[in-house]
Amino acid sequence: METPNPLASAIEPVRPPAEGELSLVMLSRAYRRLEVQFVALLLTLVVVCGSLNLFLLRQVSLVRRDLERDRPVVENALADYVRNGEPAIRDLLTKLEAFSKTHPDFRPILARYVSPSNASAAPLPSRVQPGR
């Protein structure tokens, strides 16, 4: 009977990992890398969304400030139009309608470019302050 040599096991080559073991280790590493990438992407998304929200908040405040600054100018222009422009336009339309009654060849032109839908609407309601 032979006695086992204790050095024989140290001399024998180490067996390579089996195919299934190797792929399991590779999958585990790939899963970990994918998980790290996913978390990094989520953090980046949170930072980008936060930055976008801050930008939009800044834009809203700038637009509100511009609106308050420009509101009197626009209201004056609208009041000027209602006082001066609208009566002049109505007068012009009345004269064009009278002209079309005496000149039948002008009626199709008037009908094409001045329709009843072009008449001014009801007066604008008074300004309502938006709720804040």
Q: What is the per-residue pLDDT across 86-105, written as a single tens digit (0 to 9) for each?
A: 999 999 999 999 999 999 99
Residue 119 contacts residue 90 (beta carbons within 8 Å): no
Band of pLDDT at residue 114, cut at 50, 70 and 90: confident
d(CA 22, CA 28): 10
60 inside domain: yes
Give residue 25's pLDDT: 84
User: Phi and psi for 121 in degrees, rounded to 5?
Assistant: -80, 180
Domain total in the chain:
1
Give residue 13's pLDDT: 63
89 inside domain: yes
Give residue 131's pLDDT: 56
Query: Per residue in 45-77, pLDDT tens?
Result: 999 999 999 999 999 999 999 999 999 999 999
Give residue 21's pLDDT: 67
5 inside domain: no
d(CA 98, CA 108): 14
109 inside domain: yes
Residue 104 contacts residue 122 (beta carbons within 8 Å): no
Rg (CA), the chain: 41
7 inside domain: no
Look up the domain containing 85 and give its range: 21-117
d(CA 90, CA 103): 20
Residue 97 contacts residue 110 (beta carbons within 8 Å): yes
31 inside domain: yes
127 inside domain: no
d(CA 73, CA 70): 5
126 inside domain: no
